[in-house]
């Protein structure tokens, strides 16, 4: 599904999320994690072929995860030469460490394990739990010991499982919160500038695209309809901005400015021997070398808010501009915090609005037109914003067909999606990114956007 973005998703390989910290702490025995093997029976979720007669699941979810999902390979990424090189540069191990064993030698293994596997405390691991499974079933669905056997019983309501520790993944907004614990970070899980400089890939996230490339192991039913027809994209945009602003304030309050990972990389990283696109474009009134806040987490939500007629659009735009100025000037964290609350609340209201009323065809067409018309500023906002624009265009192109025809188009039969495919070619290599070319290629979509 959506093969044209598969290569791009590789940029974030290994930066994967789990929800171990979000399990409800109700009275009673602790919720324990049973491990992926407990779900692998061929009459459970380990069927080799989909069970089309099943109402809510296809029962081949374990096989899909194991064979095709990068989450299943997340731990493996830590025992390769690239991970070892990063660990050495970060001072986590010395030069004598080997790729296969360095995790057992470093006292700071959790810095990597917390996102590359389901790194729950030893006391919460059942006998079949295996840390080397990577980001496995319970990372998204919650500890299963209390509901594993019960949820297969005749007449069992999924809501009963939620009361026993299962996490609700039918709501894309809640699912995005789980994903972003690693695809953005938390107070204890961070891909900071130090880690980026050591060679870790930047964290990026767009719920609809990343879900399409897992690939999906679910089918549509009454409870999860918001995942479809653009719902995952809208929820993901709102939650990503809300969490990004929270994520911005917390480390600034603890450590002060700056952590350069929150800034647009090309503000500082560009060719100095010959005129780069950054130098040619100029700095929009800023001092050259002054970092600018990465706009990729919020720009597309502004388009969404305007398209759905949200009264929050103006507040979001003004709030993010102010936060951007404060971040660029490295103002005291309390100044940023004073603005952040309003932005977080506004993003939450956009999420509520889009959850109550899914995108219609007119709103999707407006979004497509507005993004195409803004090709140049989006392109020159940097690689990660261009990446988000390409993902949005593809998600919306698919959603329009889903709404109008009840199906999903392949790119071969859809000229718009074929043209969008060129954008992903433009984004294959961040170091070779050419915003002028990207803007030009986005502009070619005008002929296909109604």
Give the residue with greater pLDDT, 121 vs 270. 121
292, 328 contact by CB (below 8 A): yes
Give the residue with greater pLDDT, 30 vs 153. 153
> What's the confidence (pLDDT) of residue 271?
74
CA dihedral 64, 67, 69, 70 (to 10 degrees): 170
Contacts of 299 (CB under 8 A, 6+ apart): 378, 381, 385, 388, 389
Cα separation, 350 vs 224, in Å, equals: 19
- Does 238 score more than 50 pLDDT? yes
Cα separation, 10 vs 83, in Å, equals: 15
> What's the confidence (pLDDT) of residue 57?
84
Residues 181-204: tens digit of each pLDDT: 999 999 889 899 999 999 999 999
306-310 average pLDDT score: 95
Cis omega (within 30 of 0) for bond into 215: yes
Query: pLDDT exceeding 90 applies to what percent of the chain?
Result: 67
Residues 377-415: tens digit of each pLDDT: 999 999 999 999 999 999 999 999 888 765 555 656 689
Residue with tokens 């002028």: 436
- Does 60 score more than 60 pLDDT? yes
> Shortest CA distance to 260 belongs to which of 293, 298, 299?
293
Instruction: For residue 275, give both structure tokens.
Output: 């005129």
> What's the confidence (pLDDT) of residue 111?
96
446, 435 contact by CB (below 8 A): no
Cis omega (within 30 of 0) for bond into 83: no
Burial class (CB in 10 A: 0-12, 13-18, 19+), 280: exposed
> What's the confidence (pLDDT) of residue 407?
53
What is the DSSP secondary-structure string of 320-382? HHHHHHHHHTT--HHHHHHHHHHHHHHHHHHHHHHHHS---HHHHHHHHHHHHHTHHHHHHT-
Residues 174-183: tens digit of each pLDDT: 999 999 999 9
Cα separation, 62 vs 47, in Å, equals: 8
- Does 240 score more than 80 pLDDT? yes
Average pLDDT value over all residues in the chain: 88
> What's the confidence (pLDDT) of residue 406?
52
* pTM for the full predicted model: 0.89
Cα separation, 406 vs 383, in Å, equals: 33
| Phi, psi values for residue 293, rounded to 5° | -60, 135
212-219 average pLDDT score: 91
> What's the confidence (pLDDT) of residue 205?
96
> What's the confidence (pLDDT) of residue 7?
38
What is the DSSP secondary-structure string of 188-203? S----HHHHHHTPPPP
> What's the confidence (pLDDT) of residue 333?
80
| 223-226 contact pairs (CB < 8 A, 24+) | 223/56, 223/158, 223/170, 224/169, 224/170, 224/171, 226/170, 226/171, 226/172, 226/173, 226/355, 226/358
Cα separation, 277 vs 280, in Å, equals: 5
pLDDT band for position 281 (cuts 50, 70, 90): confident
- Does 13 score more than 60 pLDDT? no
Burial class (CB in 10 A: 0-12, 13-18, 19+), 149: exposed
Contacts of 208 (CB under 8 A, 6+ apart): 230, 232, 233, 236, 391, 395
| Phi, psi values for residue 380, rounded to 5° | -85, 0
> What's the confidence (pLDDT) of residue 412?
60
Contacts of 379 (CB under 8 A, 6+ apart): 385, 386, 389, 435, 436, 438, 439, 442
Give the residue with greater pLDDT, 20 vs 53. 53
- Does 50 score more than 50 pLDDT? yes
In degrees, rounded to 5, the angle at the alpha carbon of residue 110 between the alpha carbons of residues 108 and 112 is: 100
Cα separation, 70 vs 64, in Å, equals: 10
Instruction: For residue 241, give both structure tokens.
Output: 């901005």
Q: How far are the Cα atoms of 201, 202, 278, 322 from residue 326, in angstroms, in the given order? A: 26, 23, 21, 6
- Does 53 score more than 90 pLDDT? no
| Phi, psi values for residue 210, rounded to 5° | -65, -35
- Does 362 score more than 70 pLDDT? yes
> What's the confidence (pLDDT) of residue 155?
86
Burial class (CB in 10 A: 0-12, 13-18, 19+), 274: exposed
Per-residue b or e along 238-253, where b marks 16 or more CB atoms closer than 10 Å to that residue's CB = bbbbbbbbbbbbbbbe
Query: Residue 14 CA to chain centroid, in angstroms?
Result: 12
Q: Which ranges of 130-192 does DSSP label H, i.e. alpha helix?
A: 137-141, 158-162, 172-183
């Amino acid at each position: 599904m959506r093969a044209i973005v598969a290569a791009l998703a590789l940029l974030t390989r290994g930066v994967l999320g789990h929800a171990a910290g979000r399990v409800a702490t109700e009275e009673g025995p602790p919720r324990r994690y049973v491990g992926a093997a407990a779900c692998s029976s061929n009459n459970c979720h380990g069927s080799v072929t989909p069970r089309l007669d099943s109402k809510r699941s296809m029962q081949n979810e374990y096989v899909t995860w194991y064979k095709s999902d990068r989450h299943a390979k997340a731990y493996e990424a830590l025992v390769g030469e690239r991970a070892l090189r990063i660990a050495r540069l970060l001072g986590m191990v010395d030069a004598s460490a080997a790729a296969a064993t360095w995790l057992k030698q470093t006292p700071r293994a959790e810095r990597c394990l917390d996102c590359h596997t389901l790194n729950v405390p030893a006391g919460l691991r059942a006998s079949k739990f295996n840390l080397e499974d990577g980001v496995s079933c319970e990372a998204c669905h919650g500890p299963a010991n209390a509901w594993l056997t019960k949820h297969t019983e005749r007449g069992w309501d999924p809501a009963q499982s939620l009361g026993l520790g299962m996490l609700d993944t039918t709501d894309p907004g809640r699912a995005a919160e789980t994903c972003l614990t690693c695809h953005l970070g938390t107070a204890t899980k961070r891909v900071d500038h130090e880690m980026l400089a050591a060679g870790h890939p930047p964290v990026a996230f767009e719920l609809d695209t990343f879900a399409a490339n897992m690939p999906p192991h679910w089918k549509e039913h009454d409870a999860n309809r918001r995942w479809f027809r653009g719902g995952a994209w809208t929820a993901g945009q709102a939650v990503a901005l809300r969490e990004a602003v929270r994520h911005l304030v917390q480390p600034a309050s603890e450590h002060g400015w700056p952590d350069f990972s929150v800034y647009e990389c090309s503000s500082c990283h560009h060719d100095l021997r010959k005129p780069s696109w950054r130098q040619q474009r100029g700095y929009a009134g800023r001092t050259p070398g002054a970092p600018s806040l990465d706009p990729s987490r919020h720009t597309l939500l502004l388009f969404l808010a305007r398209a759905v007629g949200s009264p929050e659009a103006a507040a979001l735009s003004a709030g993010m501009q102010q936060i951007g100025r404060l971040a660029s000037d490295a103002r005291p964290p309390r100044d940023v915090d004073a603005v952040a609350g309003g932005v977080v609340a506004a993003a939450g209201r956009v999420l509520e609005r889009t959850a109550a009323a899914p995108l219609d065809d007119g709103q999707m067409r407006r979004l497509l037109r507005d993004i195409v018309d803004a090709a140049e500023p989006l392109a020159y906002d940097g690689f990660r914003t261009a990446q988000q624009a390409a993902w949005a265009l593809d998600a919306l192109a698919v959603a329009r067909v889903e709404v109008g025809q009840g199906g999903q188009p392949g790119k071969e039969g859809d000229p718009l999606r074929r043209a969008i495919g060129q954008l992903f070619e433009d984004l294959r290599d961040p170091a070779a990114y050419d915003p002028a070319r990207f803007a030009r290629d986005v502009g070619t979509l005008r002929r296909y956007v109604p």
